[in-house]
Structure 1
Amino acid sequence: MSAPARLLTFALAAALTLTGCSAASAPSGDGDKAPAAKSRTVKTDYGEVKVPADPKRVVVLNHALAGYLYDLDVPVHATIPEDADGKGKFSPYWEKEAKGDGTTFLPWSVDGFDLEAILALEPDLIVGGGIGFPLFQAEKVYDNLSDIAPTVLVGKELGDWQSQFSFLADDVFGKDDVYDRHLAAYDKRIAEVKEAIEPPPGPVSFLALTGDGTAYGLVESVGLPTELKKVGIEPAPVFAEGGFKAYGGGGDMFELSTEKVGQTITQPSVFVMGFNADTTDVTTLKKNPVYGALPAFKTNHAYDLPHWVLRGDYDESMALLDNIEKRFS
């Protein structure tokens, strides 16, 4: 065992020992007993977890999940940056709430979470998981996280904002009425936007690019493409018919070499976005001979989208509908 690991194990053991001592030394007289804390049992992909009914110090180990807690009026004590090794920036859709809660950013790197920093915050609940890298990292240290506080991971099968929000609202926090109101508002906007727009020539494909120019196609059966399909923008079966392999643990993207971009993105329209940042745009890509030669770019049916639509939460999905309505009305 490495020295940092030994230190963390010792710190966790010490914290748990102190917790046990405090419980053992509590007065036994009925008049002095504090009322038992209320809790609920949550069934997850990783087993049952007993969580506090009214948590006050929640740590969220995925920037993309934090917005749901603000929508549910659950205090977020800390979260992680959107990008590993990043400084951290609040989403404009929950910046006000984050500042009101005093939310801070935890260190986060490609090597994993800083468990000692999480322990120092003394959380009463940890929420993690979601899509992609944060889930992979949380799974690796799930037992360590559970030693710090009750830990609920949003499993990878919950791949869209509706299933994630519903799980957190209904199962974890007992606020299913809040989710129902948000879903009704979203469905109303879907109907309004579908009625208002003239969709671009279809079917359409989707590209996400990292800062170094690596291109990923979006799997058309999950996430963003399925949401735009609801307003009449039909996704092309690129992944289904291309023999691609889903990238990493997210299951919503597949990598495209430069050669494959030219061979695959031949649809009449294409939506372009960055990954974890606005890394590029259609104007810039059009100067690249590979992208400039694509049918959608040649006919001016390549469209920019902000990076946050890729794995958007409820608020971002509502903002996407505004974006689409404005662009295609």
Structure 2
Amino acid sequence: MNGRQLARTATGRGGWGSGGLRARFKGVAVLAAGLLALTACGGGGEGGGDADTKGGDKAAATRTVKHDAGTTEKVPAQPKRIVSVSVTMTGHLLALDAPVVASQATPPSVITDKQGFFSQWSEAAAKNSVKVAYQGFEPDVEKVLALKPDLIVGASSGAENAEKFYDKLSAVAPTLLYRHDDVSWQDLTARLGKDLGLEKRAGEVVAAHDKRVGEVKAAITVPKQSAALVRDNQSAMTVFTAESAQGRLLTSLGFTVLEPPAGKGQTQGGRSDFAEFSQEKVADTAKDSSLLFVSHTPEEITAATARPVWKDLAAVEDKRVYDLGLDTFRLDYYSAGNLIDKIEKAFG
């Protein structure tokens, strides 16, 4: 079963200018008030708890949700039109079969389709008729308004961090923002499931992944050498730790993930999932470890391992250099499935 087939099994359907905006924001707020009046009917329980209703109208039930940018009231217990203002979060939502009608898109690149949707879930987006809300890293509030969402979901970390736009987005529809850089995709999936009333689906998604991990773990031969999870940055090298999403997945498959070089490397915000070191320091630490490259083209891997500091390593000489795929820098359900497929093919 490949990553796309696995996605179908768990999801059922296969699945970033403020110029002039301030002058028009009053109009946005007025129109948004009408949208909120249609969807809100009182406060709910705390953080994905039981939804409240008025007059027994289950369709109008709402809840209060604590998220990473604050607490939002009157979140639809069963949202019908979600707009994602984070291309990263969109993959997590699609895996849950959440009703995403549109998503932020990035400028097209080697890791996206021609619209700017991440390649690992672009097929699921097409099957669910997900439109491009806008392209770029700052939310286009007017375009989001035009989509008439009853819920907006976004990120409070990464390049598409929408925290400074939170008040404007909240005037359009209830808005939930989440960090995705310091949590496993499984934990984020469970949290979204709870907050969106999709707990059952979240459990199915994680269970399908765990089943696939067990199957592949039993079918592969894990090398005795540790696995160095690396990303070449030309002058330096990023090393992913066992606490990273990639490291946790490799560990669950039976691999021993190489610890980063001794001493402090350059990190972002004190994160423990990866650190950046000089090429020489990483090469000296890797020694006999297999090299597993995160988010590279085959040509980039060839160029990296041809450098004098790398070409004489045992892993290069013994051809223990592996391409984990372009979609493995940020893991969601889909890219995690693709990574498992890569591991099965390389070590099965």
TM-score band w.r.t. shorter chain:
0.7 to 0.9
How far apart, in 1, do the equivalents of 2:329 and 2:187 lie?
Answer: 16
Deviates more, 1:59-68 or 1:15-24: 15-24
Q: Report the CA distance shift for 1:11/1:213 in structure 2 as closer, same or farther (over 3 A).
A: farther
Matched with 1:73 is 97
Matched with 2:3 is none
Matched with 1:233 is 255
Q: How do residues 104-115 of structure 1 correspond to structure 2 at under 5 angstroms?
A: 104-109=131-136, 112-115=138-141
Structure 1, gaps ≥5 residues long: 25-32
1:272 lines up with 2:285 in the alignment: no
Larger RCO, structure (CA 8 Å, separation 6 or more)? 2
Shift, 1:19, TM fit: 4.6
Is the contact between residue 119 and residue 148 of structure 1 (CA under 8 Å) also seen in structure 2? yes
Which residue of the other structure, out of 294, 305, 310, is the alignment partner of 2:313? 294
Shift, 1:184, TM fit: 1.9
1:192 lines up with 2:204 in the alignment: no
Shift, 1:91, TM fit: 4.4
How far apart, in 2, do the equivalents of 1:22 and 1:304 lie?
Answer: 47
How far apart, in 2, do the equivalents of 1:44 and 1:20 lie?
Answer: 22
Matched with 2:6 is none
Secondary structure (helix, strand or coil) at the match of 1:307 reads coil
Matched with 1:7 is 20
Matched with 2:158 is 132
Which residue of the other structure, out of 206, 209, 227, is the alignment partner of 1:183? 206
Please tell me the residue identity of whatever aligns with 2:316: F
Instruction: For residues 205-255 of structure 1, give each alpha carbon's deviation from its aligned partner in whole angstroms, at most 9, with x where no partner exists.
Output: 111246x7764221331211111101111111116x431232368763323
How far apart, in 2, do the equivalents of 1:21 and 1:98 lie?
Answer: 29
Which residue of the other structure, out of 69, 73, 80, is the alignment partner of 1:56? 80
1:244 lines up with 2:270 in the alignment: no
Structure 2, gaps ≥5 residues long: 1-16, 38-54
Deviates more, 1:283-292 or 1:184-193: 283-292
Report the TM-score when normalising by structure 1: 0.80
Q: Report the CA distance shift for 1:65/1:12 in structure 2 as closer, same or farther (over 3 A).
A: same
Please tell me the residue identity of whatever aligns with 2:267: A
Q: Report the CA distance shift for 1:101/1:326 in structure 2 as closer, same or farther (over 3 A).
A: closer
1:222 lines up with 2:244 in the alignment: yes
Supply the RMSD in Å over aligned alpha carbons: 3.2
Is the contact between residue 36 and residue 173 of structure 2 (CA under 8 Å) also seen in structure 1? no
Equivalenced residues, count: 309
Is the contact between residue 223 and residue 310 of structure 1 (CA under 8 Å) also seen in structure 2? no
Q: Report the CA distance shift for 1:55/1:66 in structure 2 as closer, same or farther (over 3 A).
A: same
